Amino acid sequence: MLIGSFMYINMNKEKWIFITIIATCIVSVALAYYIFVIMSKEDVALSSFF
């Protein structure tokens, strides 16, 4: 996704950066939700993940 965005950066930089930022926001939040909310359903200490 990121590499693709940079490949087209010269064609329409602002648009591609915009799409990359939106996608990264979604992916990062989803990842955090998966790790900390879904995976931590058991009584497991936080440190066990890391």
Sites for other proteins among residues 1-50 (CB under 8 A):
2, 5-6, 9, 13-15, 17-18, 20-22, 24-29, 31-33, 35-37, 40-50
Cβ 8 to other proteins shortest distance, Å: 11
Q: How many residues bind other proteins (CB under 8 A)?
A: 35
Instruction: Please give the backbone phi and psi of residue 42, each rounded to the nearest 5 degrees, phi first.
Output: -80, 170
- Cβ contact 14:22 at 8 Å: no
- Cβ contact 39:49 at 8 Å: yes
Q: With CA atoms as reference, report the closest residue to 25 among 49, 1, 50.
A: 1
Which residues of the chain form contacts with other proteins (CB under 8 A)?
A: 2, 5-6, 9, 13-15, 17-18, 20-22, 24-29, 31-33, 35-37, 40-50
